[in-house]
Amino acid sequence: MIRLFSAAFLVLAAPLAFGQQAAPQKGDADLAHRNKTAMCIGCHGIPGYRTAFPSVYHVPKIAGQQPAYIISALKAYKSGERSHPSMRGIAASLTDQDMADLAAYYGVSAK
Other CB atoms within 10 A of residue 1 CB: 5
| pLDDT tens digits for range 75-105 | 999 999 999 999 999 999 999 999 999 999 9
| pLDDT tens digits for range 13-61 | 444 444 455 556 788 888 777 788 989 998 999 999 998 887 888 999 9
If one compares 64 and 20, the residue with the highest pLDDT of the two is 64
Fold of 25-108: Cytochrome Bc1 Complex; Chain D, domain 2 (1.10.760)
> CB of 107 within 8 A of CB of 66?
yes
- 80 CB-near residues (< 8 Å, 6+ apart): 88
If one compares 100 and 6, the residue with the highest pLDDT of the two is 100
- 91 CB-near residues (< 8 Å, 6+ apart): 74, 75, 77, 78, 99
- 78 CB-near residues (< 8 Å, 6+ apart): 88, 91, 92, 94
If one compares 72 and 12, the residue with the highest pLDDT of the two is 72
